[in-house]
């Protein structure tokens, strides 16, 4: 199995990296379906969730130690 990872840059020139997670196939399929129905990119939805999760659990300053993250656009995240 060959896997291609595309590295994209945000407006702030922050490197975008791949994150691999293992979830039940049915959950992935449901997530993909909901994202498609809402016209959203799976990667963007996950990025927004992770940013929110980190912000909620970071010190009161709200500083996560990282830069503001931009969306990469496109439909790359909707691939199975």
* pLDDT at residue 79, rounded to an integer: 47
Cβ(41)–Cβ(78) below 8 Å: yes
Tell me: pLDDT of 28 over 70: yes
Q: Name 15's bridge partners.
A: 9
pTM of whole model > 0.85?
A: no
pLDDT digits (tens, 9 = 90+) for 69-78: 555 554 444 4
Secondary structure of residue 41 in the 3-state scheme:
coil
Q: Which residue has the higher pLDDT, 27 or 78?
A: 27
pLDDT band at 7 (very low <50, low <70, confident <90, very high): low
Asked if 78 and 32 touch (Cβ cutoff 8 Å), the reply is yes
């Amino acid at each position: 199995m060959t896997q291609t990872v595309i590295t994209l840059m945000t407006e702030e020139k922050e490197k975008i990296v791949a994150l691999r997670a293992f979830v039940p196939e049915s959950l992935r399929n449901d997530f993909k379906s909901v994202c498609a129905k809402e016209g959203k990119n799976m990667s963007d939805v996950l990025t927004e969730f992770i940013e929110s999760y980190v912000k909620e659990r970071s010190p009161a300053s709200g500083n996560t130690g990282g830069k503001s993250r931009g969306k990469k656009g496109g439909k790359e995240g909707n691939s199975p």
